[in-house]
Amino acid sequence: MRVLVLLGAPGAGKGTQATILAQRLGLPHVATGDLFRNAVRAGTALGREAHGYMERGELVPDAITIEMLIERLGRPDAAEGVILDGFPRSRAQAEALESALLVRGERVEVALLVDVPAEELVGRLAGRYVCRLGGHPYHVILNPPRVPGICDVDGSPLEQREDDRPEVVRARLTRQLAPLQSVIEFYRARGILRAVDGRQPIDLVSRGLIEALDPVTTA
């Protein structure tokens, strides 16, 4: 099982890169933000529980998030591996993932950091739009769709995420950058952190991430 972790601040472009890597490597793209948004839309108990935290730009509590992710990892399409986008977001989540994999004799292969300085993130989030159907991300300047307002991938309309409003963006960055740093340190200590400069054009970031994977497996 290949478990690749994509790390980055909100707005760094990790969702965009996870989509590209998933296609390239033939692994499912598992984004905890998407799982939560789907649950909110479906009105499930999980969605009702997560919604308030998301609206305030806070992290959803670890216990709920870990349970959801472990359940997702157990589904058949994840048997060969996954690209994790937006998980782990705290040290406790990183440890929980490590333990869950350890019992299967597996571990995270690499943690890829899409690195963008904090001062650039507000502008990147303000210009972001995602499609209604699949959550595919776009940016008015950095990554516009071919037809304005329409997703290139599935043709659904583009909209601004509820939590990309300026007041929530600030809260997300204030609350989420420190825990992200603790996750970065966790993987650095294990010697599996690879960072790529996320300010480059999208295709160069993808190339950097692919090169950061084990050369044997990408050849």
φ and ψ of 160, to 5 deg: -85, 140
Question: Of 50-58, 117-125, 149-157, 186-194, which part binds ligand AMP (CB under 6 A)?
Answer: 50-58
> In this structure, are residues 111 and 86 in contact, taking their beta carbons and an 8 Å threshold?
no
Site pattern 57..96 for ligand AMP (x: CB under 6 A): xxxx----x--------------------xx-x---x---
Nearer to ligand AMP, 36 or 213 (CB): 36
54 binds ligand AMP (CB under 6 A): yes
**Closest C-alpha among 208, 219, 12, 4 to residue 110:** 4
Cβ neighbour number for residue 15 with a 10 Å cutoff = 24
Instruction: Determine the size of the site formed for ligand AMP (CB under 6 A).
Output: 17
Q: How far is the CB of 130 from ligand AMP (least distance, A)?
A: 9
> What's the rounded Cα separation, in Å, for the pair 155 and 10?
25
138 binds ligand AMP (CB under 6 A): no
How many helices, marked H, and strands, marked E, lie in the chain? Answer: 9, 8
Q: Report long-range pairs for 19-25 (Cβ below 8 Å, ≥24 apart).
A: 19/136, 19/137, 20/202, 20/206, 21/83, 21/206, 21/209, 21/210, 22/83, 24/206, 24/210, 25/83
Q: How far is the CB of 175 from ligand AMP (least distance, A)?
A: 8
Nearer to ligand AMP, 27 or 72 (CB): 72
What residues are annotated to the active site?
A: 14, 89, 128, 161, 172
Site pattern 7..46 for ligand AMP (x: CB under 6 A): ---x---------------------xx--x----------
172 binds ligand AMP (CB under 6 A): yes
Please state, in angstroms and as integers, the Cα–Cα distance from residue 60 to each residue in 5, 93, 100, 130, 162, following that order.
Answer: 19, 11, 20, 21, 16
Dihedral (CA of 127, 154, 81, 217) sign: negative
Q: Which two tokens stand for residue 183?
A: 């996750």
Q: How far is the CB of 90 from ligand AMP (least distance, A)?
A: 7
Nearer to ligand AMP, 32 or 143 (CB): 32
Nearer to ligand AMP, 162 or 211 (CB): 162
Nearer to ligand AMP, 48 or 218 (CB): 48
Please state, in angstroms and as integers, the Cα–Cα distance from residue 150 to each residue in 13, 138, 189, following that order.
Answer: 19, 10, 42
Binding site residues, ligand AMP, CB under 6 A = 10, 32-33, 36, 53-54, 57-60, 65, 86-87, 89, 93, 163, 172
